Amino acid sequence: MTDINGVRILEFSQLGDARGHLVVAEGGRDIPFNIKRVFYIYGSDQNVVRGKHANRKTEFVLINVAGTSKIKVKDGEGNEAVYHLDRPHIGIYLPTMVWKDMYDFSSDSVLLVLASEHYDADEYIRSYDDFIKEIRNAMQ
Ligand code: TYD
């Protein structure tokens, strides 16, 4: 799979026992940043595409704690990769300045998102053209 600017799959410790499953993801340890914000996405139809943005400041880890979804990541230089989130102990790390689409949600999908920053609408790039321009400017 194409390497997209440090995007990577994370595998968390599974501490389950006879009583059931328990997965741990500690900020600054399993998660490569300190967690300032948590949100979760559920009830999205299978034909919905969410995300469609890049972030100038925020890093994310996405975990399908229930159900499944796919994440398409683009680096703005022509490379893209698709990751399948299909197990509760697997996450995907997304650094800043990658374009991301979340799609193909199963009906039981609960996509947990851990973020390194508080919400700031101004650090979101929601136009793909603007994203490409910022990537090109950064390379000059
Ligand atoms: P949006 O970024 O479009 O969601 P997604 O990444 O799943 O496509 O967010 C939907 C709305 O929620 C939008 O109006 C912004 C708001 N929002 C917040 O106020 N705080 C947050 O932390 C997030 C992620 C979204």
Nearest atom within ligand 1 for CA of residue 121: 15
Residue 35's pLDDT is what? Answer: 98
Q: Which domains does the chain possess?
A: 8-139 (2.60.120.10)
Mean pLDDT, rounded, for 7-13? 97
What band does 64 get if pLDDT is binned at 50, 70 and 90?
Answer: very high
- 110 Cα–ligand 1 center, Å: 15
Cα gap 31→60, rounded to integer Å:
9
- 56 Cα–ligand 1 center, Å: 15
Mean pLDDT, rounded, for 67-73? 98
What's the whole-number average pLDDT of the chain? 96
Residue 90's pLDDT is what? Answer: 98
Q: Residue for token digits 């680096």?
A: 75
Q: Which of 21, 53, 84, 118 is catalytic?
A: 53
Tell which one of 39, 48, 85, 111 to mutate to probe ligand 1, the residue whose CB is within 8 A of the most ligand atoms.
39
Residue 85's pLDDT is what? Answer: 98
3-class state of residue 99 by DSSP: strand
Cα gap 68→85, rounded to integer Å:
6
pLDDT at 1 over 70: no
pLDDT at 96 over 80: yes
Number of neighbours of residue 66 by Cβ within 10 angstroms: 14
Residue 140's pLDDT is what? Answer: 85
How many Cα atoms occupy the beta-carbon half-sphere of 57 within 13 Å?
10
What band does 3 get if pLDDT is binned at 50, 70 and 90?
Answer: confident
Number of neighbours of residue 14 by Cβ within 10 angstroms: 13
Q: Which residues contact 29 (CB under 8 A, 6 or more apart)?
A: none
Ligand 1, atom 18: closest residue by C-alpha:
119
pTM for the full model? 0.96
Cβ–ligand 1 contact at 51 (below 6 Å): yes
Quick check: is 53 catalytic? yes
pLDDT at 92 over 70: yes
Residue 121's pLDDT is what? Answer: 98
